[in-house]
């Protein structure tokens, strides 16, 4: 459990877009070290199949309980996501389809932050060694003036997330989430 309750009142609020519970581990702690009070936002309509989505959401819920942060689960609608990436099905992993996917998820997170009156926004997406942090940060900063341009994989960030997952015996997915990355 998080031991910094006495500081919570003075911390700046950040809405953290969370792609999976494993990624939340090291990222939430890094944001707290940097003076932020985290509210998690799980919005990932890219995840295929619905059963996989539910499994990942449950891991995020477990992480939020362990790390003691509020979690908001956004709506799940894979059909809308598929419409947004239509025509990009043959793109390689890390290509144009991924850029559209980042934009879809970060736009919804930016909208949620504004709705909640939270000035700062960040995303766990940059903790993955398979994701382009500068691209994620550029998109985030286009969508929100308060986007925090972290590269969470730095300073062993990815290893910390993996250690967190192992310590708590979390389910670890083996693809980004979309049906095209599943191949």
pLDDT per position as a tens digit, 61-76: 999 999 999 999 999 9
Task: Residue 29: count other Cβ atoms within 10 Å of its Cβ.
Answer: 17
Cβ within 8 Å of residue 58, ≥6 positions away: 21, 171
pTM, 2 dp: 0.92
Give dist(CA 79, CA 35) in Å, integer.
Answer: 38
Band of residue 22 on the pLDDT scale cut at 50, 70, 90: confident
Residue 111 has pLDDT above 80, yes or no: yes
Segment 39-62 mean pLDDT: 96
Topology of domain 11-167 in CATH is Rossmann fold (3.40.50)
The per-residue pLDDT for 68 is 98
More confident residue, 175 or 151: 151
Collapsing DSSP states into helix, strand and coil, what is residue 38?
strand
Any idea where the domains of the chain sit in the sequence? 11-167
Give dist(CA 108, CA 75) in Å, integer.
Answer: 10
Residue 7 has pLDDT above 80, yes or no: no
Residue 60 has pLDDT above 80, yes or no: yes
Band of residue 8 on the pLDDT scale cut at 50, 70, 90: low
155, burial (CB in 10 Å: exposed 0-12, middle 13-18, buried 19+) = exposed
Question: Cβ distance 104 to 131 under 8 Å?
Answer: no
Provide the angle, in degrees to the nearest 10, between the axes of the packed helices 133-143 and 96-116.
40
């Amino acid at each position: 459990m998080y031991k910094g309750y006495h500081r919570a009142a003075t911390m700046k609020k950040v809405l953290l877009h969370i792609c999976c519970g494993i990624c939340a581990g090291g990222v939430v702690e890094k944001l707290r070290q940097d003076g932020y009070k985290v509210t998690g936002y799980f919005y990932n309509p890219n995840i295929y199949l619905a059963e996989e989505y539910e499994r990942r959401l449950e891991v995020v819920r477990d992480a939020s309980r362990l790390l003691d942060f509020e979690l908001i689960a956004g709506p799940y609608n894979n059909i809308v996501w598929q419409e947004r990436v239509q025509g990009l099905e043959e793109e390689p992993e890390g290509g144009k389809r991924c850029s559209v996917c980042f934009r879809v998820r970060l736009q919804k997170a930016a909208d949620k932050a504004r709705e909640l009156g939270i000035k700062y926004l960040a995303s766990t997406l940059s903790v993955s060694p398979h994701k382009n942090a500068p691209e994620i940060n550029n998109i985030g900063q286009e969508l929100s003036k308060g986007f925090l341009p972290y590269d969470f994989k730095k300073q062993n960030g990815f290893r910390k997330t993996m250690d967190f997952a192992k310590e708590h015996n979390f389910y670890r997915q083996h693809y980004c989430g979309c049906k095209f990355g599943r191949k």
